[in-house]
Chain A
């Protein structure tokens, strides 16, 4: 299959299940909401080394509880317990500290973790709880919604008592193999721009792009992963390369999403956008189906384009 001169490999990406939370941050301006969100999602590229994967959703929320500008953040972690730990730390250190911010749950699930329930103690006894009665706030989760008003220096920090968590899909991916670094980067940037229109997904890596994709295993016993040598251009004589002739640079797109459908939409948009001049091939890192439980075949995403 060829699209715009780019060969689409008949392969699939393996993604796996993580727990996700969806956090809505509002502030007095969109700029300040974004500052809080970016700070919160810093150092959150991979669960392996960062405790969670997190990023801003590209699509802003249609409405926010307080009517102010807002941004949505997705956070993915291995377990609900990890997610709680990450949320408490990140919201506490990065959102609460950000001027004028407020922090709401945007995923009212059956399973919930305690965030405001723990952060409230920062109020030193002066915190005040306000229930959001189900009769006025109909989309409740497992229990009625509750906000904490924590007194802070610029007024009050509002944070929801509990945040919903659900099983979600992490590690949807594809690889862009380009004739040059510029071409590969331009294609990846096009993919990022396209994926930003899809709600429910994030691209946790810097600028949405991974330049140092990894493979499972290492010659060093202590390392679980190492550089993806078959895709490293300077190693084409040292290892069995996966790079066709003419490819001098590869980049990887990693997509985390709330549902399988969200990831599929993002894959399709990204793959389509990445095709074009200078892009020899789009492929994915398959691990023989042993790694992840969600398989995303590349070609069907591009059928009919």
Chain B
């Protein structure tokens, strides 16, 4: 299958990030190599032609592969609406932020703000995610509004903050304030959660397979066997996100909160037999 391959030439020792939100399948589709090389990126506040920062090879396509040490390359796939972007290695901040469709696969880890305010599409991070994955930028009423973020490693603080819809699954641990001020949506945490999980939740669901420290503004509401959890787990497994072993746990304790807010959110804590 046709693929366009961009190889980062390196930062030349500079710690100043490269703003690369021009690199999306939408933007590169239908352009010849010359056109792609002439796209503008920003190195700090200086304009840089894409061709200076990346070697461009392959055929123009909806499928994009980016190689190199990209930890300081920001905004890859930002706002994309379709196509496929594979990042071989770590991605810088804002990967897939505000995207509405397509697939991003990060074969390393992602820095902060991965999938922030996204409305659709899939981001799959093989390594760790930074802080505020799927979250809102400062001041925005909502964070992620749709789509799926899968993290095979761990994630930082405020995963899914201000979430409005969509699904986030983290196979590893998450740090503090997961699902802070969520309005809706579902977050799965298969590893250890940090403190203040679900702080300020209005609605939405956070499923924890290891017990979190439940905030005092959450009310214990018995336990039950939520079928929808099974439905999501099976779909995740079918997609290749290996959480099949968690399907055996059917019973969850339920906590309603955050009572400091609307209080119609739920924290489901797995109760293994």
- B239: which of A102, A136, A147 is its contact (CB, 8 Å)? A136
B138 to chain A, nearest CB (A): 26
B residues less than 8 Å from A128 (CB atoms) = 203, 205, 266
B residues less than 8 Å from A149 (CB atoms) = 226, 228
- A137: which of B203, B235, B266 is its contact (CB, 8 Å)? B235
Are the C-beta atoms of B166 and A156 separated by less than 8 Å?
Answer: no
B146 to chain A, nearest CB (A): 7
Are the C-beta atoms of B120 and A158 separated by less than 8 Å?
Answer: no
Verify if B55 is at the interface (C-beta below 8 Å from A).
no
Are the C-beta atoms of B226 and A156 separated by less than 8 Å?
Answer: yes
Are the C-beta atoms of B167 and A133 separated by less than 8 Å?
Answer: yes
Verify if B63 is at the interface (C-beta below 8 Å from A).
no
Within 8 A of A (CB), among B67-103: 103
Verify if A66 is at the interface (C-beta below 8 Å from B).
yes
Within 8 A of A (CB), among B235-266: 235-236, 239, 247, 266
Known contacts A67-B247, A130-B186, A131-B165; decide if A136 and B227 are in contact (CB<8 Å).
no
A69 to B99, CA, bound (A): 38
B145 to chain A, nearest CB (A): 11
- B225: which of A129, A130, A135, A155 is its contact (CB, 8 Å)? A155
Instruction: Name B's interface SS.
Output: mixed
Q: From B165, which residue of chain A is reached at the shortest CB distance? A: A131
A residues less than 8 Å from B120 (CB atoms) = 134-135
A residues less than 8 Å from B146 (CB atoms) = 131, 133
Known contacts A67-B230, A131-B165; decide if A136 and B186 are in contact (CB<8 Å).
no
A209 to B121, CA, bound (A): 49
- B230: which of A66, A132, A155 is its contact (CB, 8 Å)? A66
Q: Count residues on chain A whose CB falls below 8 Å from chain B CBs.
A: 19
B residues less than 8 Å from A102 (CB atoms) = 227
Q: Count residues on chain B whose CB falls below 8 Å from chain A CBs.
A: 28
Verify if A277 is at the interface (C-beta below 8 Å from B).
no
Known contacts A133-B147, A135-B148; decide if A155 and B224 are in contact (CB<8 Å).
yes
A129 to B203, CA, bound (A): 10
A137 to B231, CA, bound (A): 10
Are the C-beta atoms of B235 and A132 separated by less than 8 Å?
Answer: yes
A129 to B231, CA, bound (A): 14
A residues less than 8 Å from B205 (CB atoms) = 128, 130
A39 to chain B, nearest CB (A): 20
Within 8 A of B (CB), among A148-204: 149, 155-156, 158
Q: From A130, which residue of chain B is reached at the shortest CB distance? A: B228
Are the C-beta atoms of B148 and A133 separated by less than 8 Å?
Answer: yes
Verify if A246 is at the interface (C-beta below 8 Å from B).
no
B24 to chain A, nearest CB (A): 17
Known contacts A155-B224, A155-B225; decide if A135 and B122 are in contact (CB<8 Å).
yes
B186 to chain A, nearest CB (A): 7
A67 to chain B, nearest CB (A): 6
Are the C-beta atoms of A136 and B226 separated by less than 8 Å?
Answer: no
A15 to B266, CA, bound (A): 51
Are the C-beta atoms of A136 and B224 separated by less than 8 Å?
Answer: no
| Cross-chain pairs A/B with CB under 8 angstroms, 27 sampled | A65-B234, A65-B235, A66-B230, A67-B230, A67-B247, A128-B266, A130-B186, A131-B146, A131-B166, A132-B231, A132-B235, A133-B146, A135-B103, A135-B120, A135-B121, A135-B122, A136-B167, A136-B235, A136-B236, A136-B239, A137-B235, A149-B226, A149-B228, A155-B224, A155-B225, A156-B227, A158-B227
Closest 3 CB pairs of A and B: A135-B122, A135-B148, A136-B235
